[in-house]
Amino acid sequence: MHQAFRATVLPLAIAAVALVISAGAALAHPTIDIVASNWKFTPAKISIPVNEETTLRLTSSSGVHGIASDDLGIATTKITPGDFQLVKFTPKKAGTYVLHCAVVCGPGHSDMALTIEVTP
Interacting span for Cu ion (CB under 5 A) from 20-28, 67-75, 77-85, 105-113 = 105-113
Indicate the burial class of 52 (C-beta count within 10 angstroms; 0-12, 13-18, 19 or more).
middle
99 or 105, CB closer to Cu ion? 105
Tell me the residue type at 64: V
34 or 103, CB closer to Cu ion? 103
Given candidates 74, 79, 101, 118, which one binds Cu ion under the rule CB under 5 A? Answer: 101
Distance from C-alpha of 14 to C-alpha of 7, rounded to nearest angstrom: 12
58 binds Cu ion (CB under 5 A): no
Least distance to Cu ion, CB of residue 30, Å: 26
CB 65 within 8 A of CB 103: yes
Distance from C-alpha of 34 to C-alpha of 84, rounded to nearest angstrom: 10
105 binds Cu ion (CB under 5 A): yes
Binding site for Cu ion (CB under 5 A): 101, 103, 105, 109
